[in-house]
């Protein structure tokens, strides 16, 4: 556009007709496939699939589930989770999972979607003493092996003369032409999880005489929950989300067309990273301690990352594809050290929640991307700090939530949301966000039109109707303004 004011109006109308039959247990997999067809990144899809697979293997007892567990369940909006919690408080004990159909804001498709993850058990919660021996003996073991090989020979696997390779060393892949990954995990209900993952991409070396480490990428995790005052402990690879994501969110996010009844987020417990994705997660430790109505989360991460380095030793960009197939890739491999640490204090009282988040990150090099027309306000340096406060409050059929965050340069970003459920047949959402071009938060991921929480101001209006048992109609309009130039948009 050549106008001085760039106003993007995005209007989406989605008609989703679900033809589910009672008793079908793979409905959520179809839901994931549908998400994959939308504007949702592969890492988010993989993380969501891994989490739901684990939850399906360890279903939750509806007669003992807590409100917080429901709010963290990935297929439920905050309003839906609270409606289920209110229903259970009034009607426990329930005798069949199909009683969820009596929750006033749950449509037929949502009930069918979540059924595989819940069961009806005893009313009393028996608090088991922590016994690592019993946990290991009673754990569920899972092994996943994947092997892919292309039938068509690619150029990187061709035969090149020594003279050609001496002149063009990056023409030939140093590894074999197959992809291979191995995952092993064990879990005990929702109390304990542990696992390892190894992966090599096609073209990467695998157990060669001069490459004895086996897989190109290794990952591991260990997770504990509800041990005394310790709500959660994560060691190894994990993901975190605070508030609405203006300070920190490396958890999965849905596309706009799925946001009309699921805009409000919550500070989550640490989640395992069991995907083969080689970026977008933390490696270290995180812990959540409960003190009466307050949850305190602290975390630390230290890992080596791939980066493109300039002649003066500065980072110009990060390499996140995970490929190490040619000599140039190995020069970029793990050449930068990253440290991230932070904390969140979350207070809850009945229908009110308030949180404070802080995050500090640093590199052992200076990050200084090549100056372009669209990145003049990008963060540059070797360390940075972000601080944010978030809130949520439920009143009758209204739900208010939001977050205000500050980057180290003094710029504030805001997001505020209002959800309204007048009946079981409809819901309405109003969302306002203002992410100035000078707001800088590397680990932020929040609702928006762009991939960065930066240079965007907008108002989102969404509604979802349930006119028939198996019909969902979702509509949204998003009015967006980009105050300064963006990539491929050279005028404001």
For the cut 60, the answer to whether the pLDDT of residue 279 exceeds it is yes
Q: What angle do CA 404, 406, 412 make, to 5 degrees?
A: 70
Q: Give the pLDDT mean for 357-383.
A: 94
For the cut 90, the answer to whether the pLDDT of residue 16 exceeds it is no
> In the chain, pLDDT over 70 holds for what percent of residues?
90
Q: Give the pLDDT mean for 264-275.
A: 90
Tell me what pLDDT residue 311 has. 92
Q: Where are the beta strands (DSSP E) in 6-55?
A: 7-17
For the cut 60, the answer to whether the pLDDT of residue 273 exceeds it is yes
For the cut 50, the answer to whether the pLDDT of residue 386 exceeds it is yes
Q: Give the pLDDT mean for 112-125.
A: 85
Distance CA 445, CA 403 (A): 12
Tell me what pLDDT residue 211 has. 82
CA dihedral 392, 412, 239, 27 (to 10 degrees): 50
Distance CA 377, CA 473 (A): 39
Select the highest-mean-pLDDT range: 201-215, 264-278, 360-374, 420-434. Answer: 360-374
Q: What is the DSSP letter of 18?
A: -
Distance CA 58, CA 30 (A): 20
Q: Give the pLDDT mean for 131-142.
A: 81
Contact 109, 470 (CB under 8 A): yes
Q: Give the pLDDT mean for 169-186.
A: 93
Tell me what pLDDT residue 75 has. 87
Residue 191 confidence class, pLDDT cut points 50, 70, 90: confident
| Better-scored residue on pLDDT, 488 or 103 | 103
Phi first, then psi: give them for residue 55, nearest 5 degrees: -65, -35
To the nearest whole number, what is the mean pLDDT of the chain? 87
**Domains recognised in the chain with CATH numbers:** 1-18+218-492 (2.40.160), 20-126 (1.10.150), 134-215 (no CATH)
Q: Give the pLDDT mean for 387-394.
A: 96
Tell me what pLDDT residue 245 has. 95
Residue with tokens 């106003």: 7
Tell me what pLDDT residue 256 has. 63
User: How many helices (H) and strands (E) would you count in the chain?
Assistant: 8, 21
Q: Give the pLDDT mean for 226-234.
A: 91
Contact 279, 320 (CB under 8 A): yes
Question: Lowest mean pLDDT: which of 12-21, 146-155, 410-419, 441-450?
Answer: 12-21
Tell me what pLDDT residue 478 has. 92
> In the chain, pLDDT over 90 holds for what percent of residues?
55
For the cut 70, the answer to whether the pLDDT of residue 5 exceeds it is no
Question: Lowest mean pLDDT: which of 112-116, 155-159, 398-402, 484-488?
Answer: 484-488
CA dihedral sign, ordered 126, 290, 416, 241: negative
Question: Lowest mean pLDDT: which of 168-182, 274-288, 471-485?
Answer: 471-485
């Amino acid at each position: 556009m050549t106008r001085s004011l760039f106003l993007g109006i995005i209007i989406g109308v989605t008609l989703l007709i679900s033809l589910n039959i009672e008793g079908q247990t793979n409905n959520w997999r179809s839901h994931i496939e549908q998400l994959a067809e939308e504007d949702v990144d592969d890492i988010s899809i993989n993380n969501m699939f891994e989490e739901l697979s684990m939850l399906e293997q360890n279903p939750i007892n509806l007669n003992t589930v807590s409100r917080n567990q429901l709010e963290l369940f990935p297929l439920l909006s905050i309003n839906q989770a609270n409606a289920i919690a209110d229903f259970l408080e009034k009607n426990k004990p329930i005798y069949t999972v199909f009683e969820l159909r009596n929750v006033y804001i749950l449509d037929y498709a949502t009930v069918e979607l979540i059924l595989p993850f819940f069961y009806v058990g005893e009313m009393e919660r028996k608090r088991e003493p922590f016994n690592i021996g019993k946990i290991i003996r009673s754990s569920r073991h899972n092994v996943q092996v994947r092997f892919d090989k292309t039938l068509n020979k690619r150029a990187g696997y061709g035969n090149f003369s020594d003279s050609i390779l001496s002149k063009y060393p990056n023409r030939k892949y140093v590894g074999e032409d197959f992809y291979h990954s191995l995952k092993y995990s064990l879990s005990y209900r929702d109390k304990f999880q542990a696992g390892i993952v190894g992966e090599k991409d096609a073209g990467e070396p695998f157990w060669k005489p001069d490459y004895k480490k086996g897989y190109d990428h290794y990952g591991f995790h260990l997770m504990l929950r509800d041990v005394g005052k310790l709500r959660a402990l994560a060691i190894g690879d994990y993901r975190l989300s605070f508030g609405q994501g203006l300070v920190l969110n490396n958890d999965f996010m849905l596309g706009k067309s799925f946001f009309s009844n699921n805009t409000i987020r919550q500070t989550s417990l640490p989640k395992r990273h069991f995907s083969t994705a080689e970026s977008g997660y933390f490696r270290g430790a995180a812990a959540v301690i409960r003190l009466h109505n307050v949850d305190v989360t602290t975390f630390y991460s230290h890992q080596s990352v791939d980066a493109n380095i300039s002649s003066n030793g500065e980072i110009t960009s990060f390499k996140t594809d995970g490929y190490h197939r040619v000599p140039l890739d190995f020069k970029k491999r793990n050449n930068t050290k990253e440290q991230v640490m932070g904390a969140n204090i979350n207070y809850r009282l009945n229908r009110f929640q308030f949180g404070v988040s802080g995050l500090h990150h640093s590199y052992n090099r200076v990050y200084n991307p090549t100056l372009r027309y669209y990145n003049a306000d990008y963060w540059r340096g070797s360390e940075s700090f972000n601080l944010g406060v978030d809130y949520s409050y439920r009143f009758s059929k209204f739900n208010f939530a939001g977050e205000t965050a500050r980057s180290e340069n003094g710029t504030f970003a805001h997001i505020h949301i209002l959800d309204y459920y007048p009946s079981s047949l409809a819901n309405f959402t109003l969302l306002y966000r203002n992410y100035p071009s000078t707001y800088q938060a590397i680990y932020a991921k929040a609702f928006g039109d762009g991939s960065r929480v930066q240079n965007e101001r907008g108002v989102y209006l969404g509604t979802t109707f349930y006119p028939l048992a198996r019909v969902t109609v979702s509509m949204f309009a998003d009015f967006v303004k980009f105050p300064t130039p963006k990539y491929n948009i050279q005028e404001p």
